[in-house]
Amino acid sequence: MEQRGHEDQDLAVVLHALGDPVRLALVRRMAEDGESACSPDGVDVPRSTLSNHWRILREAGITQTRRIGKARVMALRRADLDARFPGLLAAVLAEGRR
C-alpha cells in the first residue's frame, strides 16, 4: 500500500487522529504488540466505524498497512513520527500510563 513520507505528516491532522479514544487505544495496542489486525479483539465498535478509525490513522500518516493473504495488518510508523515530531508519540503513550 502507498505510504507518504514523514515530511507530509501534518501536526494538526496527527493530533486530531490521536485525539479520539478508540484511535488512541489502537495506537497504544500497536505500540505494545508491534502490529494489529484490522479487527482486533476487545475493540467494541461496529466494523464500519473501526474501518473509519483505521482510515483516519492511515491518512494522518500514523500507521502503515500490509497485506497477509486476504488479511490486513496495521503497524505504527514510529520512525516517521519520531523524525517529524520528536517526542510526540512517546508523550502520548506515556500519558496513557498515568
pLDDT tens digits, one per residue of 53-84: 999 999 999 999 999 998 899 999 999 999 99
Chain centroid to CA 67: 16
Cell of 96: 496513557
Q: State residue 40's pLDDT score.
A: 84
- Residue 43, judged by CB atoms within 10 A of its CB (0-12, 13-18, 19+), counts as middle
Domains defined along the chain, listed by start? 6-93 (1.10.10.10)
Q: Pick the residue with more confidence: 91 or 42?
A: 91
The closest alpha carbon to 30, from 91, 84, 76, belongs to 76
Q: pTM of the predicted model, to two decimals?
A: 0.86
Q: What is the DSSP letter of 77?
A: -
**41 pLDDT band (50/70/90 cuts)?**
confident
